[in-house]
Each structure stands twice: as C-alpha cells, then as structure tokens.
Amino acid sequence: MAAPLLLAYNLDGQKRLKLSFICAERKIYLRSVAKADYSQPLAALAGLRPRTADAYEGEGFSDEMLVMANFNPPQFHGLLDALRRNRIQGIALKAVLTTTNADWDSVKLRDELMREHEAMHGKK
C-alpha cells in the first residue's frame, strides 16, 4: 500500500504549521493543493494517476479542506484524534479518497462536501 497522503486546501499560518508537525510524527505526506491544480482529478493529486494538461482558471474557493488518501483505519482515526488534541478546528470539509470520488476535481468535491455539511447542520 502507498504511503498515506493528506491533501490540504487553503490552510495557512499556525494551522498549517501544526498540521505539518502532526503529519511528520505520523509519517503522513502533507501536500498543499494550489488553486491552479483544482481541475486535476483527486487521484492525480494523490499521485495514483497521471495528471491532465488542464489548468484551473475558475474562481476557486476559500474553504479549508482535507482529503485523506491511502489511510488505513488506525491512521485515519489517529489523524482525527490528533487534530482534536492539538485544537486544529474549523476544517469542516474532510474527505477520504475513494473509487467514487477519485475522478472528481477539487471543486466538485468541495461542492459535494458543502451540500453534505449543510444537510447535516440543517442549512439550506
């Protein structure tokens, strides 16, 4: 199995620094996703498929988002526990790379996660 990888969107400052330490402790690769890469399939961003020639030219989004790839259950739960223990809060959009979303781009994933988040919290 490939090494665990965490794709991070729009994380800056102390939050990004804390996350980098957490990932280093757990041997998780941390990769920040640039807006120019938002059109790439998630599997390509995770290094599981070739990248496309498409460059993103849209508005993008400012929401913080994390996508976990190649995590086993203990790594998954360990990362979430570490986020709580280190008080890294406010990252509402989190996903695991799956066969269903592997071909999605970052904007499609963000939009789907926003719909799910709003449905869970009763917002329209």
pLDDT of residue 21 exceeding 90:
yes
**Residue range 38-83, pLDDT digits in tens:** 999 999 999 999 999 988 989 999 999 999 999 999 999 999 999 9
- Tally of domains in the chain: 1
Flag whether pLDDT at 1 surpasses 80: no
Q: What is the pTM of this model?
A: 0.92
Instruction: Return d(Cα 92, Cα 77) in angstroms, integer.
Output: 16
Mean pLDDT of the chain: 93
How many angstroms separate the CA atoms of 85 and 99, rounded? 30
pLDDT of residue 122: 72
Q: What DSSP assignment string belongs to 66-80? A: EEEES--HHHHHHHH
Per-residue CA distances from 99 to 47, 61, 68 (Å): 14, 24, 13
Domain with 107, as residue range(s), is 5-120
